[in-house]
Amino acid sequence: MRILLTNDDGIHAEGLQSLERIARTLSDDIWIVAPEYEQSGAGRALTLSDPIRVRRVDDRRFAVEGTPTDCVAMAVQQLIEGPAPNLVLSGVNRGQNLAEDVTLSGTVAGAIEGMALGIPSIALSQAMTYFHDEVVAHWETAEHFGPGVVRRLLEIGWPRDVIMNVNFPALAPEAVTEVEVTRQGFRDSHMRSMEKRTDLRGRDYYWTGFVLKPSKPAEGTDLKAVYEGKISVTPLHIDLTHNPTVAALKGLLGGAPPKLEAAS
């Protein structure tokens, strides 16, 4: 099996090292194409207005000055010698990718690009623990359970227009309780904030970040599972159509286009 690894935290990220250790339990045919610089929050962004530059780190490892989507497209179309990969693994992200954040995640986007190119793809993320100013990521948890989860998913299989989004809880391996297949949740409070600052020349600038405030998620969601110390496995696809609204609008808006009323 030929496996392509990517991420959004960059070519030097500790999570990418964990992902390589996971992948090497499954195959020796590993290619790594990751961003030269961190691309967290890039979503499915493409580089269209600038050239994409590539640095070859070694025979099968490349750093790309672009987004995770760029990395996967470049890997499959330009960089990998011989057959295309049989599997794309994206991650292991430093921090969870749950609920509405999956639409922002470069980690998830890397997997989606793999799926768009016809390759089974899995996004993997490791939730973190926050102690005042210290952040702890239990990479050993992703490395302990990742090979088994990926192998079992490959045995089962999934539709071509779906990716698997795997999140490991912020716990040591011995404290993880189970794997749960979940649906995408939605937080009950806004999680991002903007902070205004002023530089030494008196000009304003802004930092954006996340508010570490737990929500109260519903049963069966990715959020709930990770909060409860479980490994969450969520099948995702990119059809954003809200079908109940489609059905409701068909009887109200369908047919001939409404005429523009002349102003009185």
Spatial separation of the C-alpha atoms in residues 249 and 264, rounded to whole Å: 28
pLDDT confidence of residue 190: 65
Q: Please tell me the predicted confidence (pLDDT) of residue 132.
A: 60
The closest alpha carbon to 213, from 195, 232, 188, belongs to: 188
Is the pLDDT reported for residue 48 higher than 90?
A: yes
* Rounded Cα gap, residues 39 and 106, in angstroms: 7
Average pLDDT, integer, range 188-204: 86
**How confident is the model at residue 157, as a pLDDT?**
98
> Once rounded to an integer, what is the mean pLDDT over residues 223-252?
94
Find out whether 90 is annotated in a ligand binding site: no
Residue 181 pLDDT = 98
Res 91 pLDDT > 80:
yes
Which pLDDT band holds residue 244 (cuts at 50, 70, 90)?
very high
User: What is the reported pLDDT for 264?
Assistant: 61
pLDDT of amino acid 176? 97
Instruction: Tell me what the mean pLDDT of segment 56-81 comes to.
Output: 98
- Examine the pLDDT at 123 and tell me if it is beyond 70: yes
Cα–Cα–Cα angle for 19, 39, 158, rounded to 5 degrees: 50
To the nearest whole number, what is the mean pLDDT of the chain? 93
**What single letter denotes the amino acid at residue 5?**
L
CB within 8 Å of 5: residues ≥ 6 apart = 16, 19, 20, 23, 30, 31, 32, 33, 34, 88, 89, 90
What is the architecture of the domain spanning 2-185+216-253? 3-Layer(aba) Sandwich (3.40)
User: How far is CA 55 from each of CA 46, 71, 143, 162, rounded to the nearest angstrom?
Assistant: 18, 12, 27, 31
Distance separating alpha carbons of residues 113 and 100, to the nearest angstrom: 19
pTM of the shown model: 0.93
Which pLDDT score is estimated for 164? 98
| pLDDT the model gives residue 40 | 93
Statement: residue 260 has pLDDT above 90: no
161 marked ligand binding residue: no
Mean pLDDT of 229-247: 95
pLDDT in tens, 208-224: 877 767 788 999 999 99
